[in-house]
Amino acid sequence: VDTNLTRIRIKDIAELAGVSPGTVDRVLHDRGEVSAATRKKILGIINDMDYHPDILASTLANKKEFRIAALIPQEKYNNPFWKYPLKGIEEGLLETSHFGLSVDKYLFDYFDRRSFIDKSGEMFKNKPKGVILAPVFTEDAAIVIEKCSNEGIPVVLINANICNGSCLAFVGQDSLQSGMVAARLMHYGLDRSSDILIVNFIRENGNQEHILKREEGFRKFYSAFPEYHESRLRQLNIIENDISDYPGILKEAVLASPRTGGIFVTNSRVFRVAEFLESSGSLNFRLIGYDLLEENKKYLKSGIIDFLISQKPREQGYKSILSLYHHLILKKSVEKNQYLPIDIITRENLGHYTFT
């Protein structure tokens, strides 16, 4: 057997072990019907020869399908963020679909818990080989994760990490750290006499953990600057599914302290604040928020928003499908916490982020 010339094959292992290729295959895939002795011998040789199967040949002979389920919010006029993970998934499929991977989309309504439950039920009926999950409704998502864990279905969480250990991976941002980045940018550009307002747009019974973490990170940064005591770092919570008078609320909050010079919005609703600032002609604020929504980009370009922090939603999709590919097909280990870089976006580098 010429070991050094070419790659070693199942056939070579079989010859060395004095068995047929079929038996080696049985051992390789742990599908039983092999005597303990034979098994041990074959495993020894595989190990000695450092044999690795050719996945191309394997996939070709297998004709197996790997239907992945994407259980994420539907893109909507009021939530355009969610089209990007889907784009990333499509892109990842370009590299992996040859191996039998495909994606079924179960898109639920971001504001409707019931629809999440329905879609997840539908999904389980179709017995997916892997799941990409955005845990928007924390408790219900936890149930899905539990169920997948019981059925041996690997789950990749995106955007928010509620994993207790039974997930294949999490792909998303380190929220606390991203709050610190926001604070750095604020501090770098704000004169020391100005106060800061932190605005949280909050949704009832939705997952707020990342919002809280961002605020926590922001405050953590400022804890190194004692002059920014509690009263100079005020906080405003606005309930979102209220038919709220945003301008009114904001006006009151900003007027409450005329020394407010910087505003940090802990999620993508920063355009609401930008809207208010523009219409009230108050252009002398440092304004920092999240995500490249069209409205946010508009205000970034016009200079009302100073910085946006991107959660790289496209990359979340891309990495999640590739993680499942590595796990299911290549049978390689997958990094558990895949924190994406915390991207800082200005007018000037926005152009090269178009597809992110």
Site string for DNA, 23-42 (x = CB under 7 A): x-xx-xx--xxxxxxxx---
Site string for a copy of itself, 305-344 (x = CB under 8 A): -x--------------------------------xxxxxx
* Position among 120, 178, 311, 323 found at the interface with a copy of itself (CB under 8 A): 178
Look at residue 337 and give its three-state secondary structure.
strand
CB 175 within 8 A of CB 267: no
Cα distance between residue 170 and residue 182, in whole Å? 22
Cα distance between residue 289 and residue 268, in whole Å? 6
Residue 306 binding target from a copy of itself, DNA, none, CB below 5 to 8 Å by type = a copy of itself
Other Cβ atoms closer than 10 A to 191:
8
CB 305 within 8 A of CB 288: yes
* Position among 158, 181, 198, 250 found at the interface with a copy of itself (CB under 8 A): 181
Burial class (CB in 10 A: 0-12, 13-18, 19+), 21: middle
Start-to-end CA span in the chain (Å): 50
Residue number with CB closer to a copy of itself (157 or 340): 340
- State the minimum distance, in angstroms, from the CB of residue 287 to a copy of itself: 12
CB 174 within 8 A of CB 339: yes
353 binds a copy of itself (CB under 8 A): yes
* Position among 177, 208, 237, 282 found at the interface with a copy of itself (CB under 8 A): 177
Residue 348 binding target from a copy of itself, DNA, none, CB below 5 to 8 Å by type = a copy of itself
Instruction: For the segment 284-323, give every residue that binds DNA (CB under 7 A).
Output: none
**DSSP-derived secondary structure for 19-67:** S-HHHHHHHHTT---S-HHHHHHHHHHHHHHT----HHHHHHHH---EE
- Angle among Cα 120, 126, 127 to the nearest 5 degrees reads 90
Phi-psi region of 336 (alpha: psi -120 to 50; beta: other; left: phi over 0): alpha
- State the minimum distance, in angstroms, from the CB of residue 52 to a copy of itself: 10
Structural tokens at position 194: 């100005």
- State the minimum distance, in angstroms, from the CB of residue 100 to DNA: 11
227 binds DNA (CB under 7 A): no
- State the minimum distance, in angstroms, from the CB of residue 180 to a copy of itself: 4
Stretch that binds DNA, among 14-22, 181-189, 242-250, 333-341 (CB under 7 A): 14-22
221 binds a copy of itself (CB under 8 A): yes
Residue number with CB closer to a copy of itself (170 or 246): 170
- Angle among Cα 292, 74, 269 to the nearest 5 degrees reads 35
Cα distance between residue 224 and residue 220, in whole Å? 7
- State the minimum distance, in angstroms, from the CB of residue 331 to a copy of itself: 13
* Position among 81, 84, 99, 170 found at the interface with a copy of itself (CB under 8 A): 99
Residue 352 binding target from DNA, a copy of itself, none, CB below 5 to 8 Å by type = a copy of itself
Closest CA to 74 of 107, 105, 104: 107
Amino acid at 148: C
Phi-psi region of 270 (alpha: psi -120 to 50; beta: other; left: phi over 0): alpha
228 binds a copy of itself (CB under 8 A): no
21 binds DNA (CB under 7 A): yes
* Position among 89, 155, 167, 180 found at the interface with a copy of itself (CB under 8 A): 180
* Position among 15, 43, 49, 58 found at the interface with DNA (CB under 7 A): 58
Closest CA to 355 of 323, 320, 315: 315
Interface residues toward a copy of itself, by CB under 8 A: 54-57, 59-60, 95, 98-99, 174, 177-178, 180-181, 183-185, 188-189, 221, 306, 339-344, 346-349, 351-353, 356
Interface residues toward DNA, by CB under 7 A: 6-7, 9-11, 18-23, 25-26, 28-29, 32-39, 53-54, 57-58, 60-64
